[in-house]
Amino acid sequence: MALYDSFSDGDVSAPPVITLKSRDGKIVTAVQIIEKLSVFYTHKDGNDEKDYEDASGFNLDTLLFSIADGATESIFSREFANMLVESFVSTKELTEALTEYGSAKSLKNMLESAIERVKARWGLMVAGKSLPWYAQEKVEQGAHTAFLGLRIVPIVVSGKKGISRYLTPWHSRYIDCTLKWEASCVGDSCLFIVRGDILIKSFPIETAAGFDNTPYLIGSVGAMDNRTIFVDSGYLAGGDCIYMLSDALAAWFLKSCEAGQMPWKVLASIGSNDEFQAFVVALRESKELRNDDSTLVSISIVKQVKS
């Protein structure tokens, strides 16, 4: 499958400029940038809803989004996945970093910080439990999760420079900016970016054959191998759609692409969690989708409002 590369940091092409409505000459990020945001999920067939071990979260103030996929075979992974998602999207340093473009810590460092905070929290949580021998041993092995984090960084390219990159004249109804995306992940939860009818980014796995049963995972105990954190970045254009999928759904997505289909069209048409659950059940019954917890976060970027 050929992937059209999106604009990346090292690309000599100019990134797309998107014109947004402004309010008092400022970007009010989520309102102007995100046209639609959906979060859908369902648990494995044969399990209870309470056994769902994926997690997802977002913060529209900082334009941070994440999904995590807690490993079934380790203990208290659901809690670990949820803590990591929550910690990542509410990272305080990140909020501060975003107020000054150019001084933002790298997303990889942000994830590393979130992991360390969450490992300590998870350790405190399990330390308070009275557990039988087998649960104690599993706790010593730790919880594990895959993780994918995304942030969208608006960078104003019009307006007064030298005061703040975020400001344009107060009376301006429109504002020109580029939208940078940055993603950081460990494991096989995937990010897809679709522009028009073309898949322009598949991260970190690019082919359906790239999935196996032993993905990199973040552990709640022991040292983290930071080489397992993968990062990527690029620029968005108006009308782009971003999909964040846990592994089973991501594998189906890539397989469909490889068969010449456009799986994002059916994902974009899903309007409720009930519809999503019915869609997943149908795919499982036709053996197109592995029976696993399934999570979809979809983000539609506004189209250009002024040419």
Q: Does 44 bind another protein (CB under 8 A)?
A: yes
Q: Which span (25-33, 69-77, 102-110, 252-260) binds another protein, by CB under 8 A?
A: 69-77
Report the residue number, 222 or 271, with the smaller CB distance to another protein.
Answer: 222
Query: Which residue reads 């590393």 in tokens?
Result: 112
Report the residue number, 12 or 223, with the smaller CB distance to another protein.
Answer: 223
Strands 218-219 vs 198-203: parallel, antiparallel or unpaired = unpaired
* φ, ψ of residue 55 in degrees (nearest 5): -150, 155
Q: Which span (67-75, 90-98, 192-200, 254-262) binds another protein, by CB under 8 A?
A: 67-75
CA max distance for the chain: 67
Q: Does 222 bind another protein (CB under 8 A)?
A: yes
Report how far residue 267's alpha carbon sits from residue 307's, in angstroms, rounded to the nearest whole number. Answer: 28
Q: Which residue in the set 10, 12, 49, 73 belongs to the binding site for another protein (CB under 8 A)?
A: 73
Report how far residue 116's alpha carbon sits from residue 88's, in angstroms, rounded to the nearest whole number. Answer: 11
Q: Which residue in the set 41, 65, 76, 203 belongs to the binding site for another protein (CB under 8 A)?
A: 76
Report the residue number, 132 or 196, with the smaller CB distance to another protein.
Answer: 132
Specify the length of the chain in residues: 307
Beta strands in the chain (DSSP E): 18-21, 34-42, 54-59, 64-70, 144-156, 174-186, 190-195, 198-203, 218-219, 230-236, 241-245, 294-301
What is the DSSP secondary-structure string of 172-230? -SEEEEEEEEEEEEESS-EEEEEETTEEEEEES--SGGG--S----EESSS---GGG-E
Site pattern 119..148 for another protein (x: CB under 8 A): -------------xxxxxxx----------
Q: Does 43 bind another protein (CB under 8 A)?
A: no
Q: Does 49 bind another protein (CB under 8 A)?
A: no
Report the residue number, 201 or 284, with the smaller CB distance to another protein.
Answer: 284
- Size of the residue set binding another protein (CB under 8 A): 22
Q: Which span (43-51, 160-168, 247-255, 296-304) binds another protein, by CB under 8 A?
A: 43-51
3-state DSSP assignment of residue 268: helix
Q: In the range 239-298, which residues lie near another protein by CB under 8 A?
A: 291
Report the residue number, 23 or 290, with the smaller CB distance to another protein.
Answer: 290
CB of 223 to another protein, least distance (A): 6
Report how far residue 47's alpha carbon sits from residue 230's, in angstroms, rounded to the nearest whole number. Answer: 31
Q: Does 157 bind another protein (CB under 8 A)?
A: no
Report the residue number, 77 or 295, with the smaller CB distance to another protein.
Answer: 77
Residue 179 · residue 301 · CB < 8 Å: yes
Q: Which residues bind another protein (CB under 8 A)?
A: 44-47, 51, 72-73, 75-76, 78-79, 132-138, 213, 222-223, 291
